[in-house]
Amino acid sequence: MTINMAVVGLGAFGQKHLDALQQIDDVTIAYVGHSKMPVAEEVAAKYGAKKAFTDYAELLAQPDLDGVILATPTQMHHEQTLQAIRAHKNVQVEIPMADNLAGVTEIVEAQRAEGVIAMAGHTRRFNPSHQYVHNLIVKDEFHIQQMDVQTYFFRRTNMNALGQPRSWTDHLLWHHAAHTVDLFMYQTGEQVVKANAIQGPKHPELGIAMDMSIQLATASGKICTLSLSFNNDGPLGTFFRYIGDTATYIARYDDLVTGKEEPIDVSKVDVSMNGIELQDREFVSAIIEGREPNASVASVLPAYVVLDQLQQQLDY
């Protein structure tokens, strides 16, 4: 069975998904979508897509379309995901599904009503480094006591991962913290019962907080401390320290070391070392097998409940 896939939004992450899809045997990149036709046509030619679109509804109307990956600006995620679900198309939307709990809940309810595959781009569940730790937890060989996480960027202007101007504004809470809040609950297998947040001053032009600190706790006492910044002029990215009962692990994207910086080989954890590719493989497999995927919109909903609680604290 071959899955005809479309990628909508052809910026930095859209092209990461396209690169990933090229590595999956069961996939044909059938369509691409972008707001500017010259960009869409150029990318379609590069990846062998048979047609480029600027009209999203027209793309969704293609009868042979099996799934769509949305890598569009955050403010478009909610409505575009609903459009795909209501067109009865399987959909994977990049994080966050929406920038408010009401929008996320509406997506989950629509998915349940239509019965299509709907998945959110919570890549940390798929990175080999985090899979390695998760496998130890499942085997009852490692139990988290604390996660200490740093998400650091130097982004004082509105630029994307390729250094190009963005048409939308990033957000520390609803985008970057969403990864860690979900991962903490996924790895511990527990709900967050305490959540606290503070933030620094908002950027005068971007209108977002540039620094934030978050604390989480589960009922059994597992804790997570998350520091986020767009002001950090140093090593960039997200760094996870797992402090457990039998070991300490430090995860840096797809790499993993011990607390003493001893490298751990995670190359055999899955079929690829690329977290985006593994995420897309899960989406494709769920479509073929007709099952709920890991990181389904329903399974990540609890993380957005916590984000909403944190947002209310920050607003107050």
Evaluate the omega torsion of the peptide bond into residue 96 and state whether it is cis, within 30 degrees of 0.
yes
Give the model's pLDDT for residue 206.
Answer: 76
User: 159: pLDDT confidence band, cut at 50, 70 and 90?
Assistant: low
Q: Is the pLDDT of residue 197 over 80?
A: yes
Residue 239 has pLDDT above 60, yes or no: yes
Q: In the chain, where does DSSP find H-type helix?
A: 12-21, 37-47, 56-60, 74-86, 101-114, 128-138, 178-188, 275-289, 297-315
Query: Which of 75, 63, 67, 2 shows the shortest CA–CA distance to 35?
Result: 75
Helix axes 37-47, 12-21, angle to 10 degrees: 20
Report the percentage of the chain scoring pLDDT > 70: 95
Answer yes or no: are the C-beta atoms of 197 and 212 closer than 8 Å: yes
Secondary structure letter of residue 123 according to DSSP:
G
Domains of the chain by start residue, with CATH: 3-123+276-296 (3.40.50.720), 129-272+304-315 (3.30.360.10)
More confident residue, 167 or 262: 262
Average pLDDT over the chain, rounded to an integer: 94
* CB within 8 Å of 107: residues ≥ 6 apart: 78, 81, 82, 85, 93, 97, 98, 118, 297
Q: What is the mean pLDDT of residues 300-316?
A: 96
Amino acid 204: pLDDT:
81
Q: Tell me, what's the pLDDT at 236?
A: 79
What lies within 8 Å, CB to CB, of 76 at 6+ separation is 9, 70
Confidence class for position 233, pLDDT limits 50, 70, 90: confident
12, amino acid identity: A
- Band (215; pLDDT cuts 50, 70, 90): very high
Helix (H, G, I), strand (E, B) or coil at 185: helix
